[in-house]
């Protein structure tokens, strides 16, 4: 059985519908996986680098779970990566992440069609894919769901739709992870 680490980059899961439900479903269905809730651990953005590097070292499969914020990852996920993925650990003289599998899992407020035109999800993930290459990780692509905007969740039918999409997203991610394990 491979060790799975799910890193949640949402800046406030208390103010989340889609990512919260995806993560709750994963926790129920993957009880052996480790979960890293960055908003709960580091609301002050002061990352415990050693603790995070230890979690990554133990993992075989790393899932980055996050909403799209300004066509990229949220600030907290960026900060985590900037602090933790350092020369001598992730790349350069040390390659602790080498051979591990990296999976992206993301949600966006805009519908999926928006990311099939000028700027695609693949474009957004290019830096992450390149990071995986630098660290000699296996890039296992992504699971993505659009149309789950926070702006829609106050309308009861829309909120139901978001919840349905989140459940389907979690199922797709679990199937992907089962295929990798």
What is the DSSP annotation of 89-127? TTBTT--TTTT-EEEEEEE-SS-GGGGGSSS-HHHHHHH
Q: Which is nearer to ligand FMN, 51 or 126 (CB)?
A: 126
Beta bridge partners of 103: 63
Among 31, 44, 50, 70, contact with ligand FMN (rule: CB under 6 A): 70
Binding segment for ligand FMN (CB under 6 A), chosen from 16-24, 37-45, 47-55, 125-133, is 16-24
Interface with ligand FMN includes 149 (CB under 6 A)?
A: yes
User: Tokens 């990798």 correspond to what residue?
Assistant: 180
Q: Which is nearer to ligand FMN, 135 or 143 (CB)?
A: 143
d(CA 64, CA 9): 7
Are 61 and 14 within 8 A, CB to CB?
A: no
Residue of this chain nearest to ligand FMN (CB atom): 109
Interface with ligand FMN includes 25 (CB under 6 A)?
A: no
Interface with ligand FMN includes 119 (CB under 6 A)?
A: no
Smallest gap from residue 147 Cβ to ligand FMN (A): 9
Smallest gap from residue 145 Cβ to ligand FMN (A): 8
Are 105 and 145 within 8 A, CB to CB?
A: no
Q: Which is nearer to ligand FMN, 109 or 161 (CB)?
A: 109
How many Å separate Cα 140 from the centre of its chain?
Answer: 12
Q: Which is nearer to ligand FMN, 20 or 167 (CB)?
A: 20
d(CA 138, CA 129): 9
Interface with ligand FMN includes 87 (CB under 6 A)?
A: no
d(CA 17, CA 21): 6
Interface with ligand FMN includes 16 (CB under 6 A)?
A: yes
- List binders of ligand FMN among 39-68 (CB under 6 A): 67-68
Tokens read off for 22: 């995806």
In the complex, the residues that contact ligand FMN under the rule CB under 6 A are: 10, 16-20, 67-71, 107-110, 148-150
């Amino acid at each position: 059985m491979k060790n799975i680490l799910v890193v949640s980059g949402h800046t406030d899961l208390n103010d989340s519908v889609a990512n919260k439900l995806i993560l709750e479903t994963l926790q129920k269905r993957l009880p052996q996986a480790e979960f890293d809730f960055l908003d709960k651990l580091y609301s002050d953005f002061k990352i415990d680098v050693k603790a995070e590097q230890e979690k990554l070292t133990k993992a075989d499969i790393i899932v980055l779970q996050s909403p799209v914020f300004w066509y990229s990852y949220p600030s907290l996920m960026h900060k985590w990566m900037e602090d933790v993925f350092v020369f001598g650990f992730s790349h350069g003289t040390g390659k602790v992440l080498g051979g591990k599998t990296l999976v992206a899992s993301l949600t966006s407020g805009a519908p999926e069609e928006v990311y099939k035109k000028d700027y695609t999800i693949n474009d957004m993930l290019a830096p992450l894919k390149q990071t995986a290459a630098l660290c000699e990780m296996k890039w296992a692509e992504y699971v993505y769901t659009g149309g789950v905007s926070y702006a829609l969740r106050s309308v009861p039918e829309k909120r139901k739709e978001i919840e349905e999409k989140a459940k389907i997203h979690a199922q797709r991610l679990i199937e992907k992870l089962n295929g990798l394990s």
